Amino acid sequence: MNIKSGPVKNICLNCNKEFIGSNLYRKYKFCSQKCMGEYKYNNNPNYKIVNCSYCKKQIGRRKIKENNIYFCNPSCQVSYEYKNNLRDLKGIHTTHENLRIKAREKLKKGVKYFNRRISSDGYWQVYVPLSGWKKEHIYLWELKNGGVKKGYELHHIDGDKLNNNLNNLVTLTKQEHLKLHNQSKKRDYKGRFID
């Protein structure tokens, strides 16, 4: 098979114009990339023309499903969601707002937190709705005593970080707390702390 190199006369399959092209488009017989793309889309059985759900502009989409909503751009999608009350005025999806409402209702019923895990430093953490992850001993102390004063820290009396009983917690100044923990740490012969 001998293929000529150089210019070749062809007729574009999309726009029916005669053009002189290189061997690059000889196989498809299109005058440009644009014509080649339009031809492929027009002859693709999965490609359909649908209307934008907000502005009613015609747009082309592949893999059309019945009763789906299609948008020509993101601003049309946002406008459609505001118009149909799928977003609130702050721009937060109402589904997320519904989750917050359910969380508030659970708090009123007495559920204090929803999830529990151990943090990287060895303390229990709880997920509190509307606040996020908090150390459990601090959260329980805040519920009972109204928060830790500025300059003070909570100390576990028995040294067990996972025992968050309120009888096991006491507030100490930062200096007292550091001094207490430094006394229990082991030291080498030069007085340096050993981990």
Whether residue 37 is contained in a domain is answered as: yes
Residue 81 domain-assigned?
no
Burial class (CB in 10 A: 0-12, 13-18, 19+), 28: middle
Locate tokens 């150390």: which residue?
135
Residue 129 lies in a domain: no
- β 8-11/124-128 pair status: unpaired
Residue 167 in any domain: the answer is no
Whether residue 15 contacts residue 24, with contact meaning beta carbons closer than 8 Å, is answered with no
Over its C-alpha atoms, the chain yields an Rg (Å, rounded) of 34
Is there a domain that residue 30 lies in? yes
- DSSP 8-state code for residue 72: S
Tell me which residue range forms the domain holding 1.
1-43
pLDDT tens string 62-85: 666 666 778 888 778 777 777 776
Cα 93 to Cα 71, 83, 105, 183: the distances in Å are 18, 13, 19, 53
Average pLDDT score over residue span 168-195: 83
What is the residue type of 192?
Answer: R
In a domain, 31, yes or no: yes
84 within a domain of the structure (yes/no)? no
Q: Is residue 39 in a domain? A: yes
Domain with residue 21: its CATH number is: 3.30.60
Claim: this prediction has a pTM higher than 0.85: no
Please, which pLDDT band fits residue 126 given cuts at 50, 70 and 90? confident
